[in-house]
Amino acid sequence: MFGLGVPELLIILGIIILLFGVGRIGKLAGELGSGIRAFKEGINGNKDENQ
């Protein structure tokens, strides 16, 4: 993956955590999960209406 190894990815992750903070990253991850869940429910709801 772009020539990045585990140590480089850990350094990048550490910098991201320093910039955004742990709480904000957790909140963003939760919002992303909610969005994906709503998207899946929307797709499944459309299938039920078409049958």
Count of domains for the chain: 1
Split at pLDDT 50, 70, 90, the class of 24 is: confident
* Cα-based distances in Å from 6 to 10, 35, 38: 6, 29, 33
What mean pLDDT, rounded, does the chain reach? 84
Position 46 pLDDT exceeds 80: no
pLDDT for residue 49: 54
pTM of the model: 0.52
Split at pLDDT 50, 70, 90, the class of 48 is: low
Determine, yes or no, domain membership for 5.
Answer: no
Determine, yes or no, domain membership for 47.
Answer: yes
* Top-confidence residue, 45 or 34: 34
Determine, yes or no, domain membership for 43.
Answer: yes
Determine, yes or no, domain membership for 40.
Answer: yes
Domain that holds residue 43: 20-51
